[in-house]
Amino acid sequence: MAGRDHPLLFGAIADDLTGGSELAAMMVARGMPTSLATSVEAEIDPGSLAHIIALKTRVAPVQEAVALVVEAARKLLAAGCEHIFFKYCATFDSTPAGNIGPCAEALADLVGAKLVLFTPALCETQRTVFQGHMFGGAQILAESPKRFDPLTPMTDSNLVRVLAAQSKGAVGLVAHPVVDQGADAIRAHCGKLAAEGVRLAITDTIYERDLAAIAEAAADMPLMTGNASIAAHLPGAWRRAGRLKVAQASYLPAVAGPAAILAGSVAARTAEQLEHFGRANEVLYVDMSRVFAGDDMRAECLAAAARAIADQRTIAIATTAPQSEVERLQSAFGRDAVARRAEVFLSDLANSLIFEHGVRRLIVAGGETAGAIVPGLPIDRFIVGPYQGLGTGRLVAEMPFPVALMLKSGKLGGLDVFSAVLEDMQQPFRAQPYLDQWPPQPRTP
């Protein structure tokens, strides 16, 4: 690609924006010059060694998702990318039709990968995989709140079976007794699986050291898939092999000005965070049935936001609703229609808050919500802040003026994450790279 004096070492495609921004933050924290884009067309920073393209393909039609992912991969390969990474949720959010399996298989065909590893585990939150089954702590996935997800209900804990249902190739398992023996054993087992005709393999992952071992084994593979937590161990493997010598410090500028929170996630954690925030602040819950009825809820929300801004207060506006209300709306209007209407509603609010009401600090809760809002903003590029712990990632969007963003996964973050991050955005932040210890100890804002 013109303008580059070195190839990309790492190129990633994320199936949603919150996950993509978290992955970028981890690479920045590991000292890798990293750029983040929300479209395939966006230029890759010529100084970056890692580039993340965050798309909105998790619940897109399968053919559309595959086409976008392949287009993004071709862009990365054209920049000389040596390793392609496909990033998805730590709870393997997908449907029986996809999109994890079909996208991964299309990427494997593109780069000629004989075997592709799947490592969704996020050990920081005790999301682990054992004998191919996913757990959240002691709770198996199919018995967790994820079974009620309105878009990707996860009702089967056996990820080998889930992946096989949406894939053409044979699916195998790298079980924990193998992973526990380290990178050499993992490589040998992968060779055995490939010789047996297995194309895709779930990796058991219980401890952070398991992630490090899997990353070491996969450091030379042309394609890897998983949650951001596995990718965070790749820079260390490349440094030990002498392939990565830079260790760049990170800087995030301060941004002052009015603040707002937009929440579209229906995750229980976001509901708890909103309830906590509401003890000292205003939370406006949008009745989506009124939106469907044609009531001008936009005007009501903006009027409330204007009052809060005038009083130097922060308002949270949420389409979050109890599970029973979500199910009622889905029955009346259809699952996809409800999700799209909520996303469009919040996206429109975001533009009005920024360009009409002067909001310069914005938190967006929910991966699909962020994926609807941010691409609709006139953002040329992002400054990515270093990873400091789950649910606290920060970006600064360089628009006609800087806007500080935090894109929060619906399921993650401390109870006080909203107030803490909004306060933190007003301070500049510099950090040296984390070269050894991972994950880093969370920094208290």
Rounded distance between C-alpha atoms, residue 26 and residue 434, angstroms: 9
Question: Does 208 share its domain with 72?
Answer: yes
Residue 371's pLDDT band, with cuts at 50, 70 and 90, is confident
Query: Is the pLDDT at 321 greater than 70, yes or no?
Result: yes
Task: Kindly state whether residue 445 falls inside one of the protein's structural domains.
Answer: no
Place of tokens 């399921």: 411
pLDDT average, residue stretch 412-419: 91
- For residue 328, name the pLDDT band (cuts at 50, 70, 90): confident
Do 15 and 137 belong to one domain? Answer: yes
Domain membership of residue 438 (yes or no) is no
Are both 218 and 313 inside the same structural domain? no
- What torsion, rounded to 10 degrees, do the Cα atoms 107, 108, 109, 110 define? 50
Helix (H) or strand (E) holding 441: none
The 8-class DSSP code of residue 443 comes to P
Residue with tokens 């989506």: 288
Q: Domain tally for the chain?
A: 2
Tokens of 288: 């989506």
| Number of C-beta neighbours around residue 270 at 10 A | 25
Average pLDDT, rounded, for the chain:
92
Mean pLDDT across 419-442: 88
Query: Rounded to two decimals, what is the model's pTM?
Result: 0.87
- Beta strand segments in 38-97, E: 50-54, 83-87
Pairing of strands 315-318, 250-252: unpaired
Domain range for 88 is 10-248
Are residues 159 and 15 part of one domain? yes
Q: Which of 376, 370, 377 has its CA nearest to residue 393?
A: 370
CATH code for the domain of 279? 3.40.980.20
Of the pLDDT bands very low, low, confident and very high (cuts 50, 70, 90), residue 381 is confident
The arrangement of strands across the sheet holding 133-136 comes to 127-130, 133-136, 139-140
In this prediction, residue 442 has a pLDDT band, given cuts at 50, 70 and 90, of low
Confidence of residue 1 (pLDDT cuts 50, 70, 90): very low
- Do 193 and 128 meet the contact criterion of CB atoms below 8 Å apart? no
**Percentage of the chain lying above the pLDDT 90 cut:** 73
Query: Are 236 and 273 found together in one domain?
Result: no
Half-sphere exposure of 312 (CA within 13 A, CB side): 1
Query: What does the pLDDT read at residue 3?
Result: 56
* Position 77 pLDDT exceeds 60: yes
> Is residue 442 assigned to a domain?
no
The CATH number of residue 66's host domain is 3.40.50.10840
With a cut of 70, say whether residue 445 has pLDDT above it.
no
Return d(Cα 76, Cα 79) in angstroms, integer: 5
27-53 pLDDT tens trace:
999 999 999 998 899 889 999 999 999
Name, of 116-130, 358-372, 428-442, the range with top average pLDDT: 116-130
Distance CA 125, CA 412 (A): 9
Cβ atoms 107, 73 nearer than 8 A: yes
Could you tell me which residue, 332 or 227, shows the higher pLDDT?
227
Q: Kindly report, residue by residue over 223-255, the tens digit of the pLDDT.
A: 999 999 999 999 999 999 999 998 999 999 999
